[in-house]
Structure 1
Amino acid sequence: MINTLNLNLNYDDPIKIAEDIYWVGFYDEETGLHCNPYLIVDGDEAVVIDGGSRPDFPTVMTKILKTGTDPSSIRGLIYHHYDPDLCGSVSDYEDIIERDDLRIMSALENNFFIRHYGPSASLVDIAEFNDRFTFKSGRVLEFIRTPYAHSAGSFITFDELSGVAFTSDLFGSYGRQWDLFIGIDDACRTCEKLDACPQSRTYCPIVDILTFHQMIMPSGKALRHAIQQILKTPAGMVAPQHGSVIPVEQDFRAIGARLMDLKGVGIDRIITDEGDAR
């Protein structure tokens, strides 16, 4: 496993987060919503996960090229939902990859909307392949459904070989203070005073994660179901599409437990009981 913490990272380059897996995102210092496309390379094949917006595409593709990956080796584009920060550049990828057998993969519920970005290739419903993508080597990416977290067709991708779960918005965050990797210590994992740090720290990444889920997820029920699906996997690392990678299993499972108990998520912040609006 790559030592991902306490590194002097150059965000102008692709960054390896696990063996043959790269962050190829854009570090935008002007926004608190950092987007994280990922590249998986398996021999002479590759897959891009949540490829990014159209304005970010030149940066993302430059980083893909810096890994030594030939665009024509990209067999699949995986989109966990249909937002423009994931899918806006889908036509740009097609223009550069130039493969007749390129798969643009998402859930059927997402494909209804992804088609409006104008892809020329056929959109593939992941159900057609039993929620799996298999490389020629036999390496398997498993697609795990997380409906309404935050779209009806949301899912995550679990790479069985590396143990990395690509979790889309789940485990994501919004915040002006950003690093690609975050870690928390024992005191933070069990802290009950997140609003006033007992260690007098000026920044708590857990607060940003919890607040993001309260704002983005539709309801506590949808969030709990989605987190349950992730915690059932043997994942050792989670790589969200927003925020920071959480490379230590103990850390993301501790944060997952907090998300399971999170109150005031989505509509639950506005309506406490059916028909009871605040």
Structure 2
Amino acid sequence: MDDSKAIEVNDGIYWVGFSDENAGFSNNPYLLIEGESVVLFDPGSRLPEHFEIVKKKIESVIPIEKITMIVVHHQDPDLCASIPLFEEIIGVNNFELIATMRTSLLLPYYGIRTEITTVEDGDILELDNGREIMFITSPYLHFAGAHVSYDMKTKTMFSSDIFAAFSADWNLYANENYTEAMRIFHEPYIAHKSAIDSFANKIKDIELKMICPQHGSVIKEESISRCMEALLSFEVGSWLI
């Protein structure tokens, strides 16, 4: 596998991330291309050594200037601090920036100047050729204003920190050891099991064929039920005393 370039993980969906060996986890921005619609999910850190990797991988499939939309699933710097660097290339307000209302309140603190389009639970965005993205709120996983995105064409969920993992032994696709790597991530980062149960109930009738988390590995269809069972079993809030 040549991970020096973008890797297409599903129809029009590219992984443009990298494994950060120093941090012990991967950072996973994703690019979705459908006709003239080019969507970048959670573009990542502004550290030069991080931004240049993501930039180079995007440019291996499409010019940065072609990006029409950036989706931010929550406000952490490891997934959205680079947006001002993208603004320098694309131009302020030359793309649509999407977040929930609570996330939108914090994004300007990174120096982001593009106007933010806020979305609510169940909102659907139509891209070129009728391809649709649905936005699903995921409160307290791990931010009050967090959300995920669901590509209705490929049944792919961009799940942000949900289904994410810490792992020094990283693979692009989840393997048999992935649920343990998920546990190491979720048990300290998620405060209460009710947040997981609420989200699981919300998506129980949604068909999933792929999950693309912000950290960790891409989860293919054959591994989804195993990862969901593991998620529901975790003893989260493990740092509470």
- TM-score greater than 0.5 by the shorter chain: yes
Q: How does 1:190-209 map to 2 (within 5 A)?
A: 204-209=177-182
Instruction: Say if 1:231 and 1:256, in contact at 8 Å, map to a contact too.
Output: no
Task: Trace 1:261-276 onto structure 2 (pairs within 5 A).
Answer: 261-263=233-235, 265-266=236-237, 270=240
Corresponding position of 2:187: 214
Aligned to 2:202: 229
Q: Among residues 146, 151, 154, which one is paired with 1:159 in the alignment?
A: 151
**Once the 2 structures are TM-superposed, how far is the Cα of residue 95 of structure 1 from its aligned partner?**
1.3
Deviation at 1:101, TM superposition (A): 4.3
- State the distance in 2 between where 1:59 and 1:97 align: 17
Q: Deviations over 1:209-252 (max 9, x none)?
A: 112111111211112222333443111010100000111x2311
Give the Cα separation in 1 of the matches to 2:110 and 2:189.
Answer: 22
Seen in structure 2, the aligned counterparts of structure 1 residues 154 and 236 have a Cα distance that, compared at 3 Å, is: same
Q: Which has the larger radius of gyration?
A: 1
CA RMSD, 1 decimal: 1.7
Report Cα offsets for 1:177-199 as digits up to 9, x if no partner. Answer: 10111233xxxxxxxxxxxxxxx
Match of 2:64 among 71, 78, 83: 71
Counterpart CA distance in 2 for 1:245 and 1:86 is 16
The 1:161–1:153 alpha-carbon spacing in structure 2 relative to 1, beyond 3 Å, is same
In the alignment, the residues of structure 1 paired with residue 207 and residue 70 of structure 2 have an alpha-carbon distance, to the nearest angstrom, of 24
Residue by residue over 1:149-179, the C-alpha shift from the partner in whole angstroms, topping out at 9 and shown as x without a partner, is 0000111100001111110001100011101
Identity over aligned pairs, percent: 30
Corresponding letter in the other structure for 1:64: I
What secondary structure, in the 3-state scheme, does the structure 1 residue paired with 2:28 have? coil
Which of 11, 25, 30 is 1:19 aligned to?
11
Structure 1 spans left out of the alignment, 5+ residues: 1-8, 185-203, 271-277
Aligned residue number for residue 32 of structure 1: 24
- The secondary structure found in structure 1 opposite 2:31 is strand
Indicate conservation of the 8 Å contact 1:11/1:27, yes or no.
no
Q: State the match for 1:43 in structure 2.
A: 35
Partners in 2 of 1:250 and 1:64 — Cα distance? 28
Q: Once structures 1 and 2 are overlaid, which stretch shifts more, 220-229 or 135-144?
A: 220-229
Q: Normalization by structure 1: what TM-score?
A: 0.81
Contact 1:105 1:125 (C-alpha < 8 Å) held by counterparts: yes
TM-score, scaled relative to structure 2: 0.93
Partner AA of 1:43 in structure 2: G
Q: How many correspondences in the alignment?
A: 239
Structure 2 residue matching 1:77: 3-state secondary structure = strand
Task: Tell me the alpha carbon deviations over residues 240-268 of structure 1, each in whole angstroms, 9 at most, x when there is no partner.
Answer: 00000111x231122212211322x12x6
For residues 108 and 85 of structure 2, the distance between their equivalents in structure 1, rounded to whole angstroms, comes to 14
Q: 2-side partners of 1:11 and 1:113: how far apart?
A: 32
In 2, Cα distance between the equivalents of 1:57 and 1:231?
Answer: 35
1:61 and 2:55 matched: yes
Structure 2 counterpart of 1:143: 135
- Counterpart CA distance in 2 for 1:228 and 1:169 is 17
Q: 1:130 to 1:164 in 2, by over 3 A?
A: closer
Q: Which residue of 2 aligns with 1:119?
A: 112
Amino acid at match of 2:169: Q
Does the CA-based 8 Å contact 2:122-2:136 persist in structure 1? no
The aligned runs of 1:180-195 (5 Å cut-off) are: 180-184=172-176
Q: Contact 2:139–2:147 (CA<8 Å) still a contact in 1? A: yes
